[in-house]
Structure formats: C-alpha cells, structure tokens
Amino acid sequence: MNLKIDKCFDDKKAITITIPGGKDISIREIFLDYTGTLSKDGKLIEGVAQRLFLLSQKVKVSIYTADTFGSAKKELENLPVEINIIKNGDDKEKALKKKSYKYIAAIGNGINDVKMLKLAKFSVAIIGPEGAAAKLLRYSDIVVSNIIDALDLFLNTKRITATLRK
C-alpha cells in the first residue's frame, strides 16, 4: 500500500492527502459511523477489521454511532479504535467541534452523519448495503459504493489524488 506518513507538531502520525491544484491535507483522525457504514444489520462487514487495524497504526480511529442494533462494542472489541455511543447527528457534530477538525476525515452514510461530514476537513460518503442519505452526498469530497473502498482511500492516498485531479 502506498501511504505517506508525516509527524505532526504534537508528535502524532498523520496521513497526508495530496489535492491536485490545492494544498495537501494532513489527517490525524478518522471519524466513522458504524451502522450502515462499517456494518450491515449490526455485523462488521468482512475486511473492515483488518483495514481499521492498519489505519489505527497511522491515525486515531474514532467511531461514533447510535448503535441501532446494539452490537458495535462487541463487534469492535478487539480493535484499537475509540467507540462512542451517541444519540444523534448533533452528538457527532459536538464531538468533532471539540477537536481540531481541520485534521479530521469523516466517513458515513446516514442523515445523522451530515453535520459530521460537513464539518470535517475531508469527507467520504458510502452508498452501501443500507443505502445513503441523499443530503449527505452534497457534503462529501468523494462518494464510494462500499466501506472497503472508503478505507482503502486512506491506505493508498494516490487514489484520492487521482479522483480529485482536475
């Protein structure tokens, strides 16, 4: 995988995304939705765990979910990720506002992810097995058809560069 790693001023590692014709973006944390994004019917989608593990070696991985099926903690228990059970999209927005969101990427599929994707420095919408909220697409830098492709964008950032090239 082609991943460029930088040391940030706070000695954390980051993923650098090269935006053609623009400034490079440094991502230190990825905010993810769980239900419908990382999972289908409450079960982690195959291949997601391995990618979350790889990403966690490069950046902080934080999951914010209303946990519709009540399975997120169990499904993610052995992964080096932060799990946050929230009530709604406003909670996701509040969590993001408490951080330096100019260093955060967000990935989601639902209406409760709109504010999170709108605020993040870089955002990816998933049109996965549970669909996607149409309003979400308007605030996405990239739209993909599944979570594997979304996570792989951050493991091989040249895919982002190629997609956003004018």
| pLDDT in 10s for each residue of the chain, 166 residues | 334 434 343 446 899 999 888 889 999 999 999 999 999 999 999 999 999 999 999 999 999 999 999 999 999 999 999 999 999 899 999 998 998 889 999 999 999 999 999 999 999 999 988 899 999 999 999 999 999 999 999 999 999 999 998 8
Coil, strand or helix: which one is 158?
A: helix
Residue 133 carries which DSSP code?
-
φ, ψ dihedrals at 87, nearest 5°: -95, -35
Strands 25-27 and 13-17, how do they pair? antiparallel
Burial 36-62 (b: 16+ CB within 10 A, else e): bbbbbebebbeebbebbebbeebbbbb
Model pLDDT, residue 120? 96
Pick the CATH number of 5-164 from 3.40.1350.10, 3.40.250.10, 3.40.50.1000, 3.40.50.300: 3.40.50.1000
Residue 112 and residue 11 in contact, taking contact as beta carbons nearer than 8 Å: no
How far is 104 from 116, CA to CA, in rounded Å?
Answer: 10
